[in-house]
C-alpha cells in the first residue's frame, strides 16, 4: 500500500470552478486518463457525487465507440450501471443469461447460475454499447471529455500537485489536479508514473491466441457455449439476437487472412460437436470482423503511488476466457469512486490508502479463475495425453459435483465488491 505522502491539510478539497463542456480546463479535482468503460464509469460516479473531473482520451470518439472488447457483464457491474443512471438501454437491449454450457468429451453440460449462486446471473451487452451510453451521459451533463488528447506524461505523482501533460488540437497543455487516475490500458502512459523501484509486475503469456469473428448470424444457442476439444478451444457468444460473436483457439502469430470464412465455420462446427446432437450446425452468415487476440495474464503492484491510481487494464490483464476484464475494471472504479467521494466530502484518505490492497485481493481471485478456465479448456500444443485426461476429469467434476459447479458459477457471475 502506498500512503498519500501529502495528506490533504483541510477537511475539504480546494474549490474548482465548473468548466464549460468544450473548454480545456487547467485545473480539476480528478484527472481521468482514458475514456474506456472504466474511465467513463468513474467519471459518472464522481460527477454524481459532486467531485469535479476531466476525462482525457487519446483516440477520437468514433474509434472509442467502435472498439470491440468484452460483452459479458457481471451482476455487480449491471447493478453499478443501473445505480449510475446508465442502465436504461442495457435493460432494454441487453440479454440476461442464467448459465453457460460446457462441451467436452463430445457431451454437453449446462451450469445453472441462479440455482448455484442464490439468484445471480450475467448480462450480454457489448462494451461498445456501455461506452456509447456513458459518453452520451457525460456530454449531456456537460462534463469535460477531450478526445484526441494525447497524454505525454504525469509529473508530481509523489506531491499534492500532480500535473498531466498532454497535447490537444496541436498544442501542448497541462492539467493540474489533486489525483490522477490511469484508465488508459496496458500500453497507457499513466502507469509509467509509478517508478520501477516501487513497482512489481507478474505475468504469464499463454502459448495460444483467439481468432475472433463477428458474424451476421443468429446465435446457435441462447447462452454461451465453452467447448474443449482435441482440436482446440471454441466459444460461441453473441452481441444480439441476430449477431454472433465466435472464437477459435489458434497458434500465436496467426494471420487472420489464413482463415477464410468457410474454414472458420467448418472448424467451429467440428469443435462444438457432441454425440447427442450430431446434426447441430452453426447458422452461417457474413463475417463482418475478424481479428487475433493474444492471451496473457498480467498484474502490476501497487495500484497506487502517491496521487496516481491505476484501474482496469492499466493495472491488470486477464485472458478473456473467464469474462473478467471489463468487470474487474468496473470493480476497481467502484471502489475508487467511494474512496474519492469520501475524500471530497471529509478530507479523509482512508479509502485511498487501502485502495490498492482492497482491489488486488479481488484481482488475484479473478486472475486465478481466468487461469483455471483458460488452462482447463484450451489444448496446449505441448501437453501430453495425461494432461488432457486431467482437463477432462476437472470438467467432469464440474458436471457432477454441485460444489465444483457452484465455485465456477460464483466466480463467473462475480464475487462481491468490498465496501
What's the N-to-C CA distance of the chain in angstroms? 17
- 226: annotated active-site residue: yes
Task: Give the active site residue among 8, 228, 316, 324.
Answer: 324
- The CATH fold assigned to 96-124+206-295+383-413 is D-Amino Acid Oxidase; Chain A, domain 2 (3.30.9)
Task: Give the active site residue among 320, 344, 355, 378.
Answer: 320
Peptide bond into 222 cis (omega under 30): no
- 247: annotated active-site residue: no
Bridge partners for 297 per DSSP: 204
pTM of the predicted model as reported, rounded to 2 decimal places: 0.90
How many CA atoms lie within 13 Å of 237's alpha carbon, on the beta-carbon side? 25
Q: Spell out the domain ranges in the chain.
A: 27-71+127-199+302-369, 96-124+206-295+383-413
Digit-coded pLDDT (tens) for 240-250: 889 999 999 99
Phi and psi at 346, nearest 5°, equal -125, -15
Task: Give the active site residue among 179, 226, 305, 355.
Answer: 226
* pLDDT in the model for residue 228: 98
Question: What is the full per-residue pLDDT of the chain (419 aa) written as tens digits?
Answer: 344 433 333 333 434 333 334 456 899 999 999 999 999 999 999 999 999 999 999 999 999 998 877 789 999 999 999 999 999 999 999 999 999 999 999 999 999 999 999 999 999 999 999 999 999 999 999 999 999 999 999 999 999 999 999 999 999 999 999 999 999 999 999 999 999 999 999 999 999 999 999 999 999 888 999 999 999 999 999 988 899 999 999 999 999 999 999 999 999 999 999 987 655 678 999 999 999 999 999 999 999 999 999 999 999 999 999 999 999 999 999 999 999 999 999 999 999 999 999 999 999 999 999 999 999 999 998 999 999 999 999 999 999 999 999 999 999 999 999 87
- 207: annotated active-site residue: no
Rounded CA-CA distance 315/302 in Å is: 8
- 97: annotated active-site residue: yes
Please choose, from the candidates 211, 213, 296, the residue with its C-alpha nearest in 3D space to the C-alpha of residue 250.
211
Peptide bond into 302 cis (omega under 30): yes
The DSSP string of 304-345 is EETTEEE-GGGTEE--GGGS-HHHHHHHHHHHHHHHHHHHHH
- The CATH fold assigned to 27-71+127-199+302-369 is FAD/NAD(P)-binding domain (3.50.50)
Angle at 404 between CA 403 and CA 408, to 5 degrees: 115
* pLDDT in the model for residue 376: 98
- 320: annotated active-site residue: yes
* pLDDT in the model for residue 359: 97
Amino acid at each position: 500500500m502506498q500512503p498519500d505522502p501529502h495528506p490533504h491539510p483541510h477537511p475539504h478539497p480546494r474549490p474548482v470552478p465548473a468548466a464549460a463542456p468544450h473548454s480545456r480546463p487547467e485545473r480539476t479535482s480528478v484527472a481521468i486518463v482514458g475514456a474506456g468503460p472504466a474511465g467513463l464509469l468513474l467519471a459518472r460516479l464522481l460527477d454524481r457525487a459532486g467531485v469535479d473531473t476531466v476525462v482525457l482520451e487519446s483516440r477520437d470518439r468514433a474509434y472509442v465507440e467502435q472498439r470491440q472488447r468484452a460483452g459479458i457483464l457481471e451482476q455487480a457491474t449491471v447493478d453499478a450501471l443501473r445505480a449510475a443512471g446508465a442502465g436504461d438501454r442495457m435493460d432494454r437491449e441487453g440479454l440476461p443469461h442464467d448459465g453457460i454450457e460446457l462441451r467436452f468429451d463430445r457431451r454437453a453440460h449446462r451450469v445453472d447460475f441462479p440455482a448455484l449462486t442464490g439468484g445471480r446471473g450475467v448480462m450480454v451487452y457489448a462494451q461498445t454499447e456501455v461506452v456509447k451510453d456513458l459518453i452520451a451521459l457525460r456530454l449531456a451533463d456537460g462534463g469535460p471529455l477531450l478526445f484526441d488528447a494525447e497524454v505525454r506524461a504525469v509529473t508530481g505523482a509523489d506531491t499534492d500537485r500532480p500535473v498531466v501533460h498532454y497535447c490537444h488540437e496541436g498544442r501542448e497543455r497541462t492539467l493540474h489536479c489533486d489525483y490522477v487516475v490511469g484508465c488508459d490500458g496496458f500500453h497507457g502512459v499513466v502507469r509509467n508514473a509509478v517508478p520501477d523501484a516501487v513497482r512489481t509486475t507478474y505475468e504469464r503469456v499463454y502459448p495460444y491466441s483467439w481468432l475472433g469473428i463477428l458474424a451476421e448470424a443468429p446465435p446457435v444457442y441462447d447462452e454461451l457455449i465453452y467447448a474443449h476439444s482435441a482440436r482446440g478451444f471454441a466459444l460461441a457468444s453473441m452481441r444480439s439476437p441476430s449477431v454472433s460473436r465466435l472464437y477459435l483457439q489458434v497458434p500465436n502469430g496467426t494471420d487472420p487472412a489464413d482463415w477464410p470464412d468457410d474454414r472458420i465455420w467448418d472448424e467451429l462446427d467440428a469443435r462444438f460437436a457432441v454425440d447427442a446432437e450430431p446434426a447441430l450446425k452453426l447458422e452461417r452468415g457474413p463475417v463482418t470482423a475478424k481479428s487475433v487476440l493474444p492471451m496473457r495474464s498480467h498484474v502490476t503492484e501497487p495500484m497506487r503511488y502517491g496521487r496516481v491510481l491505476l484501474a482496469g487494464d492499466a493495472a491488470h490483464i486477464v485472458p478473456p476466457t473467464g469474462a473478467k476484464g471489463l468487470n474487474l475494471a468496473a470493480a476497481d472504479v467502484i471502489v475508487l469512486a467511494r474512496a474519492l467521494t469520501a475524500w471530497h466530502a471529509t478530507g479523509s484518505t482512508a479509502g485511498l490508502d487501502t485502495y490498492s490492497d482492497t482491489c488486488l485481493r479481488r484481482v488475484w481471485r479473478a486472475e486465478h479463475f481466468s487461469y483455471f478456465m483458460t488452462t482447463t479448456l484450451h489444448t496446449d500444443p505441448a501437453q501430453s495425453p495425461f494432461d488432457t485426461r486431467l482437463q477432462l476429469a476437472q470438467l467432469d467434476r464440474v458436471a457432477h459435483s454441485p460444489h465444483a459447479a457452484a465455485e465456477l458459477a460464483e466466480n463467473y457471475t462475480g464475487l462481491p465488491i468490498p465496501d
